[in-house]
Amino acid sequence: MMQNKFKAALLAVGLLMSCGAVLAEETFTQWMMATSREKEVKPVDNKTWKEECGSCHMAYPPGLLPSKSWEKLLNEKALGDHFGDDASLDEETLKEIRDYALANAADKSWYKRSRKIALATEKGEAPLRITEVRYIKRKHHEIPEKMIKGNKDVKSLSFCNACHTKAEEGTFDNDTVRIPNYPDWKD
Amino acid sequence: MKGIKLVWGAALCLASFSGAAWAQDQAAELPQLSSEYVKDYESFKLAAKETDVLVKKPENTSPVLKQPEYEPPMFTGTKMHQYLGLATVGAAAATFLTHFHPCEGPNCGPQAPRKTHGTHANLGRATAILAAATVATGLMYHWEDFHAEDGISDPDNLHVILGATGAALMAYAINKSARSTVPTSHAAMAELGALSMVVAIKLTW
């Protein structure tokens, strides 16, 4: 009886430790003991990021791309031609934004959806668009074209908040999706 | 013995933290009766030709309907899976707390037959049923999140493996002891199963 319990305790400890090893480099204990929900993506909590990025498009949470993507996107040259637009920033602002992105990128985050994005982008070229991430593509592949490109109130997958009603809060789950003009659509 | 109690203590702490976090969740908010009546409020207003529901946009683009504040449904398959998982952990903790250690050793007198329908046994059965329901709803509503090709480091894959293993271990422990009138060695299996489920929940919490 006692021996069995000892084996069970050993197994339990092994189980916990292997999960930690699998999951990441640091602060496994902190994450394990965290009381807040970390199921989605960390919401944007940087004023400059919100203002600068949010002035043209949704201020995408940095946890939607890995750091290698932000490195490619957030430099003077790349911002000079940011998907066809000039999004140049002064040096100080660029540094703040870049530091924020790199500190909260998918591969630095404990949030579940970010961890999945980090795993999906671990190998290969850094994606420059969120919609190029394998995991994001797979999550949306069942949605008919008419509901996205053919939908005048959505137009592109890039407009996350057109359907993800809680995108600003970093929540992208099925329960909070409402596709404009298709209120009865269910995944 | 102390070791396993410590592990259990940690598991209970985790479960209670989960509860605290869950309390912050908006999901439990009841919908207002008025919002149920006017689900399609814009349509009513448009039908009445009230123009303030239209967002003013440049003339060369079509008007877009203002999206009303969206309240996610209170009860969905996903949420049912979540509630069942938490209930399973709660029931497992209650089962543990109601366990009784029979006297072991040469100085023990004759033992009363083990209760097969006492509080502990019934709570154990309830835990097994809840665990089975959790696995079933997980398969139904989250099957698309499981991708074997993503490997064991994927949090959803790990959640499935640990959750299903935990449920199976608990079911095995309960099956082993359910009809036995003499003490059986089943606690370690059940405890390991419950712990496995707690870790599975935390991975996707």
SS3 sequence of chain B: CHHHHHHHHHHHHHHHHHHHHHHCCHHHCCCCHHHHHCCCHHHHHHHCCCHHHEECCCCCCCCEECCCCCCCCCCCHHHHHHHHHHHHHHHHHHHHHCCCCCCCCCCCCCCCCCCCCCHHHHHHHHHHHHHHHHHHHHHHHHHHHCCHHHCCCCHHHHHHHHHHHHHHHHHHHHHHHCCCCCCCCCHHHHHHHHHHHHHHHHHCC
- The confidence score (pLDDT) of residue A13 equals 63
Residue that wins the pLDDT comparison between B66 and A78: A78
Chain A positions touching B3 (Cβ under 8 A) are 5-6, 9
Say if residues A157 and A131 touch (Cβ distance below 8 Å): yes
Q: By C-alpha distance, which of A119, A174, A182 is closest to A147?
A: A182
Cross-chain CB nearest to A119 (options B153, B162, B202): B153
Say if residues A89 and A79 touch (Cβ distance below 8 Å): yes
Residue B1 distance to chain A (closest CA, Å): 7
- The confidence score (pLDDT) of residue A132 equals 94
Residue that wins the pLDDT comparison between B13 and A165: A165
Q: Does the beta-carbon distance from A36 to B21 stay under 8 Å?
A: yes
Chain B positions touching A5 (Cβ under 8 A) are 1, 3-4, 187-188, 191
**C-alpha span between B158 and B179 (Å, rounded):** 33
pLDDT per residue over A14-53, tens digit each?
Answer: 666 555 555 544 477 777 778 788 899 999 999 999 999 9
Percent of chain A exceeding pLDDT 90 equals 75
**C-alpha span between B173 and B177 (Å, rounded):** 6
Size of interface A-B (CB pairs under 8 A): 102
Q: Does the beta-carbon distance from A8 to B67 stay under 8 Å?
A: no
- pLDDT grade for B94, boundaries at 50, 70 and 90: very high
Cross-chain CB nearest to B185 (options A4, A9, A165): A4
Q: Count CB atoms within 10 A of the CB of residue B57.
A: 10
B66: pLDDT strictly greater than 90: no
- The confidence score (pLDDT) of residue B47 equals 45
Query: Which of A114-123, B4-13, B74-83 shows the lowest mean pLDDT across its residues?
Result: B4-13
Residue B61 phi/psi, 5-degree rounding, is: -115, 155
pLDDT per residue over B122-174, tens digit each?
Answer: 999 999 999 999 999 999 999 989 998 899 989 999 999 999 999 999 999 99
The pTM score is 0.73
Q: Does the beta-carbon distance from A175 to B4 stay under 8 Å?
A: no
| Helix, coil or strand: residue A48 | helix
SS (H, E, C) B138-185: HHHHHHHHCCHHHCCCCHHHHHHHHHHHHHHHHHHHHHHHCCCCCCCC
B20: pLDDT strictly greater than 90: no
A176 contact B CB<8A: yes
B179: pLDDT strictly greater than 70: yes
A85: pLDDT strictly greater than 80: yes
Long-range contacts of A79-87 (CB under 8 A, 24+ apart): A83/A129, A85/A56, A87/A56
Q: Does the beta-carbon distance from B185 to A2 stay under 8 Å?
A: no
Give the residue carrying structure tokens 């074209």: A145
- The confidence score (pLDDT) of residue A25 equals 46
- pLDDT grade for B68, boundaries at 50, 70 and 90: low
- The confidence score (pLDDT) of residue B46 equals 44
Mean pLDDT of A58-73: 97
- The confidence score (pLDDT) of residue A38 equals 87
Give CA separation, A35 vs A30, B22, B154, in Å: 10, 9, 21
Give the residue carrying structure tokens 């498009």: A57
Mean pLDDT of A160-169: 93
- The confidence score (pLDDT) of residue B15 equals 52
B83: pLDDT strictly greater than 90: yes
Q: Which of residues 114-173 of A touch B (CB under 8 A)?
A: 115-116, 119-120, 138, 152-153, 165-166, 173
Give CA separation, B56 vs A114, A173, B45, B127, in Å: 36, 30, 16, 56
Chain A positions touching B199 (Cβ under 8 A) are 15-16, 19
- pLDDT grade for B200, boundaries at 50, 70 and 90: very high
Mean pLDDT of B70-89: 91
Residue B126 distance to chain A (closest CA, Å): 22
| Helix, coil or strand: residue A179 | strand
What is this model's ipTM?
0.78
Cross-chain CB nearest to A5 (options B20, B79, B187): B187
B61: pLDDT strictly greater than 70: no
Cross-chain CB nearest to B192 (options A2, A8, A115): A8
Q: What angle do CA B9, B15, B17 make, to 5 degrees?
A: 105
A5 contact B CB<8A: yes
Average pLDDT, chain A: 88
A25 contact B CB<8A: no
Residue A91 distance to chain B (closest CA, Å): 34
For residue A131 the two structure tokens come to 């919609």
> What is the amino acid identity at position B129?
I
Residue A38 phi/psi, 5-degree rounding, is: -130, 45
- pLDDT grade for B31, boundaries at 50, 70 and 90: very low
**C-alpha span between B141 and B193 (Å, rounded):** 22
H or E element that contains A171: none
- The confidence score (pLDDT) of residue B32 equals 44
Burial of B73 (0-12, 13-18, 19+ CB in 10 A): exposed
Chain B positions touching A112 (Cβ under 8 A) are 155-156, 203-205
- pLDDT grade for B109, boundaries at 50, 70 and 90: confident
B102: pLDDT strictly greater than 60: yes
As beta bridge partners, residue A85 has A82
Q: Does the beta-carbon distance from B17 to A22 stay under 8 Å?
A: no
Interface test with A, best of B8, B96, B103, B192 (most A CBs within 10 A): B192
For residue B143 the two structure tokens come to 């099957």
Give CA separation, B129 vs B15, B75, B91, in Å: 19, 21, 10
